[in-house]
């Protein structure tokens, strides 16, 4: 039976310096792709030559303050030969684009739309890249680290609530206290306002 480390070695052998040496952590194998423009090519090989017929997830990480800013993570699996492989690549904020893998796995459609909607990462050649959770025209990307947890006011007519979304008791506030969530916000833009 082929293992994830065998598959990682075959990817490395085929793509050479484009692929990092396999990194093993907690029995999971991760490979870094140095050129994000070739991610679809790597995924195509992984699916058709190595049997990774199931795209579990595509997620994104905001490495705010670093360049490149974004990490895009692909979780691959094989149904016939149970194994799991993680591919990672990075893109800069200035570029903000990466090729779509919807041509490899149709299920990438929603994952890529979510990464676009929440992080602002654009997937070139995506068949229908539009927001999936927020409304069209929404000017922010809510999962970026520079988006305040207390929310931002929006001017949207005919919507039940256009104020800042309350996060009382939410999972990302600091320690509970008698202060409201705005004052507990760990990344609040104007800490001097806390004194008011």
194 confidence band (pLDDT: 50, 70, 90): very low
Same domain, residue pair 16 and 53: yes
Average pLDDT of span 85-109: 96
Comparing CA positions, the residue from 65, 60, 63, 43 lying closest to residue 121 is 60
pTM for the whole structure: 0.80
List the single range of 68-77, 84-93, 127-136 with lowest mean pLDDT.
127-136
Same domain, residue pair 11 and 105: yes
Asked, for residue 137, whether it belongs to a domain, the answer is no
Per-residue model confidence (pLDDT) at position 38: 97
- Which tops the pLDDT comparison, 136 or 190? 136
Same domain, residue pair 20 and 58: yes
Domains held by the chain: number: 2
Per-residue model confidence (pLDDT) at position 135: 83
Per-residue model confidence (pLDDT) at position 163: 59
Q: Which domain holds residue 77?
A: 4-124
Same domain, residue pair 78 and 110: yes
Asked, for residue 157, whether it belongs to a domain, the answer is yes
Asked, for residue 132, whether it belongs to a domain, the answer is no
Same domain, residue pair 72 and 166: no
Asked, for residue 46, whether it belongs to a domain, the answer is yes
How confident is the prediction for the chain on average, in pLDDT?
85
């Amino acid at each position: 039976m082929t293992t994830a480390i065998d598959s990682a070695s075959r990817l490395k052998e085929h793509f050479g310096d484009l692929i990092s040496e396999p990194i093993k952590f907690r029995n999971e194998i991760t490979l870094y792709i140095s050129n994000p423009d070739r991610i679809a090519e790597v995924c195509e090989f992984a699916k058709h030559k190595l049997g990774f017929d199931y795209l579990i997830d595509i997620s994104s990480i905001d490495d705010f303050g670093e360049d490149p800013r974004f990490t895009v993570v692909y979780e691959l699996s094989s149904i016939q030969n149970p194994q799991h492989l993680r591919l990672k690549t990075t893109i800069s904020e200035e570029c903000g684009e990466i090729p779509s893998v919807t041509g490899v796995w149709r299920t990438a459609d929603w994952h890529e739309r979510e990464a676009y909607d929440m992080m602002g990462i654009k997937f070139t050649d995506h068949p229908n890249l539009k927001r999936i959770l927020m409304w069209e025209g929404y000017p922010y990307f809510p999962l970026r680290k520079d988006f305040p947890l207390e929310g931002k006011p929006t001017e949207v007519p005919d919507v039940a609530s256009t104020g800042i979304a309350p996060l009382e008791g939410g999972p990302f506030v600091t320690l509970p206290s008698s202060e409201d969530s705005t004052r507990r916000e760990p990344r609040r833009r104007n800490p001097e306002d806390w004194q008011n």
